Structure 1
Amino acid sequence: MNKNTTKAKFIMSAAAALHRYGTSSDKIERAARLISEKLGLTAEFMSTPTSLIANFDFKDQPEYTSILRMDPGKINLEKLCSADRVVDLVLDSEMDIEAGERELNDIISRPPLFSNLLVNVAISALAFSAAIFLKGSLLDAFFCGIISLVISVCTQSIKQEKISTIAEALIAFALSFTALSIHKLGIHIFPPVAILASLLFYLPGLMFTMAIHELSSDNLQAGTARLTGALIILLKLAFGTYLGSEFSAYLFGTSNYIAPIPLGLPYQILSIFLVSLAFSVSFQAEVKNFIWIVIGCFASFYSAVLLQDTIGVIPSAFVGGLIVGCGSNLFSIVFQRPAMVLSLPMIILLVPGSVGYQGLSFFFEENPLDAISTIFKTISIGMALVAGSFFGNLIIPPKRAL
């Protein structure tokens, strides 16, 4: 194998690692071009949520084309950082290319930092905390924590290929039916909060926002594909919730709900702290980054929440996106780590997945006017977040491709 082909294979391995661990298509292409330039190659790249294509022009040799069929990336911040460090070592000539490719393969093959059990506990803690900041009661929070733990353990114990196409609908059906049935049997949880908080982990708000980011970066094919995927997941969740509610009503009848009194500020602060830790574990972040993720989540969430009553939901989302852009770039510059380590957990507290889910639920309830209004609000919030992060990049320009 000649030297140029070895370089090309390393570049594709690096790009595939970025794709596998949740990087957006525009950032993958930008990082791959940067690596190619530093290794002295001329190349063109195209990344979509399910593929990676590259064409290398070796000048005095035949062109080299590589096409990889990829599964949609699953966020793993620890492996993303490890892959980023390997690329830096190769580009700084502290590691040869063959060793770099072996390291990348080792990163891909090694087990995740946190076990499935810890991830399940994190999902449970996320649902518990979400019920609190969605203005539910402690009873709602405990119900969400328990039912989310049970369902996440059950879904992981079943072979994914058997239920992968309908997993979201099954989860939403189980959560909706259980919450409504328990309420009708005399345990007075507040089902709207309980269902939404338990579904929060499965909502594609981050996918939706990433799609808008890709479309805004003129990466139309990737953005359209990702946006379609997010809408399909939302439809599955909304349809599963609708079926669960109808089945519960058929068995136990309907009843009225009494909204609980929201818990005080100390509980709200505790909930954001737990949500930050839960996302840190579920995203497989390194423990040394936990403190910065917690600080970033508090900054982005409260910068948006405190301004909502003053300037409105959409402008406050823009401010939240601005904080995400500035904060994550500053973190990347100071610690020489990918900005995504901070930006993903920060922005996920602001993404409009829950709003979009409610909008599609209105369609199933035959309430099209509220549905259209809510979906338009979802798109507006997503655009405001992306615009804010772009302005954050202007204020504190990123120094790294990631």
Structure 2
Amino acid sequence: MEDRTVALKPDSFTQKRHFIIALGKMLHRYGATTYRLENHLKSVSKLLDVPASFVLTPTSLTFVLYNIEDQQEYNFIVRVDPGGIDLASLSHTNQLVEELSSGQRTLNEAIQRLQEIEKMPPPYPAFLTFLGFGASSGAFAMLLGTSWNDIFWSTLLGFVVFLLVLWSERSKGIANALEPLSSIVTALLASAITLIDPTVNAPLVILSSIIPFIPGLSLTTGLSELAERHLISGTAKIMDAIMVLFKLYFGAILGLTIGNLMWGAVEMVEVDHVPAWTAWLAVLILSSSLVITFKTRPRHAFWGILCGFIAFGSSAWADLYLGASLSAFVGAFAIGIYSSMFARIGKEPAAVVLLHGLVVLVPGSKVYIGLNTMITGSEIIRADHIGSQTFLIFMSLVAGLIFANVALRPKDAL
């Protein structure tokens, strides 16, 4: 493939077509949202003087490219898996397009650079990712204001979940059942832990352990895409997120039921919760772990962590005046403005920092908690009207991002 690319006529339509298609597939794989990706591809095709249109969904990509020379349309359709999040590769790819548009690279060099980016190793070693999984689970439990015991056990079970993720990378069967399997394993272990530590809130520990899989971010981006009138992609992402949530919850219920049958249920003993100031420590730990799990470039780590603090601080301030639900609007608006400023000044995709703050705000865990309350009648944490509150928070997040985009648009399409 490399030899064929080099032999092509410089800036030929075939070269341009190859670059646009490869760019679209890679950006989709790295977690770019549909409406931003389509706008970005339109900008690139305009730069290369190739009239084009795109129809992108989480599972398929359709490119329609028009060759001015022979006045023919060329269609390309590919089936893809839903993309993950790789902010380092997203940043490198965006930088490549900037270099191409400014004339620092030729089109042939840009195609070769795309291949190099695709083969880049993760920016952080596996051991740091292992620590990131445990830290994010413990930080989430701390953010909920639970006990130190719950935080400790959540961290340990977060490490177990990472081992299952490693196993899934080597087994397709495990990969297909990763979410429910993780819930079952953590539920069994949490149930066993109550035998030696009856102060543990088992459902909360399970939720904290599987928090990397809770699809709050997917639900938010799906609603954002619906708001942008990308109906197919938005609906697909929301339905996928709901199915992931169902699989996680079913696994947790099954694991707890098996655990209770094997060694019986233990009545929980109430203990003191962590002080309120630990929420700020939790945001620091959670944002730092997201730097690793989102594969953020080291030079962007500080700005991503800062976005997490902006999200939490602005929403906590607004909570004093607007309430918990509408405070999410202020938080989303604040990180939307911040990420647009970052994109304009740093010439990077806004998503490089936006996602860190958005994860702090998204109420995916509350959907899980509401589902548990509706089915079992028990409460993981004490919260009134959690179902309607969660829906309003999602709407506030989407509205905050929309208004922030109107107030200050990022210079780059991504």
Q: Same fold (TM over 0.5)?
A: yes
Query: Which residue pairs with 1:104 in the alignment?
Result: 114
- Give the equivalent residue in structure 2 for 1:64: 74
Aligned length: 400
Moved more, 320-329 or 4-13: 4-13
Q: Is the 8 A contact 2:67 2:73 kept in 1?
A: yes
How far is 1:266 from its partner?
Answer: 4.3
Which amino acid is the alignment partner of residue 390 of structure 2?
Answer: T
Match of 1:19 among 9, 25, 28: 28
Tell me the amino acid that sits aligned with residue 346 of structure 2.
F
* Equivalent residues in 2 for 1:3-402, closer than 5 Å: 3-61=12-70, 62-158=72-168, 159-365=170-376, 374-402=386-414
Give the root-mean-square deviation of aligned CA atoms: 2.0
Query: Quick one: distance in 1 between partners of 2:45 and 2:337?
Result: 28
8 Å CA contact 2:164–2:178 kept in 1: the answer is: no
Matched residue of 2:62: which SS? strand
The whole-number CA distance in structure 2 between the counterparts of 1:161 and 1:363 is 33
Could you say what secondary structure the match of 1:63 adopts? strand
Q: Which secondary structure does the structure 2 equivalent of 1:292 belong to?
A: helix
Structure 1 gap ranges (5+):
none
**Does the 8 Å contact 2:61/2:78 carry over to 1?**
yes
Q: Partners of 1:143 and 1:366 in 2: how far apart?
A: 25
| Separation (CA, whole Å) in 2 of partners of 1:247 and 1:226 | 32
- Alignment-mate amino acid for residue 23 of structure 1: A
- Distance 1:259-1:40 versus aligned 2 partners, 3 A rule: farther
One-letter amino acid of the structure 2 residue matched with residue 353 of structure 1: G
Moved more, 303-312 or 51-60: 303-312
Asked if 1 retains the 8 angstrom alpha-carbon contact of 2:87 and 2:296, the reply is: yes
Distance across 1 between alignment mates of 2:411 and 2:257: 52
What is the one-letter code of the residue matched to 2:15? T
Q: What code does the residue aligned with 2:410 have? A: P
Does structure 2 retain, via aligned residues, the 8 Å contact 1:299–1:323? yes
| Partners of 1:278 and 1:260 in 2: CA distance | 27
Aligned equivalents of 1:328, 1:259: Cα separation in 2: 41
TM-score computed with the length of structure 2 as normaliser: 0.92
Deviations 1:283-324 (A, max 9, x none): 011111111111110110121133335312221111111012
Q: Distance in 2 between matches of 1:199 and 1:154?
A: 11
SS of corresponding position for 1:68: strand
Q: Which moved more, 1:174-183 or 1:270-279?
A: 174-183
Q: Which runs of 5+ in 2 are unaligned?
A: 1-7
Q: Give the C-alpha shift of residue 117 in structure 1.
A: 2.3
The AA in structure 2 aligned to 1:174 is: V
- SS of the residue aligned with 1:23? coil
Q: Deviation of residue 160 (structure 1)?
A: 3.7
CA–CA distance in structure 2, aligned partners of residues 173 and 333 of structure 1: 45
Q: Tell me the equivalent position of 2:5.
A: none
Contact kept, 8 Å, 2:56 with 2:233, in 1: the verdict is: yes
Give SS of 1:269's match. Answer: helix
Q: Kindly provide the amino acid, as one letter, of the partner of residue 282 in structure 1.
A: T
Distance 1:60 1:260 in 2: 75
Kept in 1: contact 2:183–2:210 (CA 8 A): yes
CA contact (8 A) 2:199 2:270 kept: no
Shift of 1:40: 1.1
TM-score by length of 1: 0.94
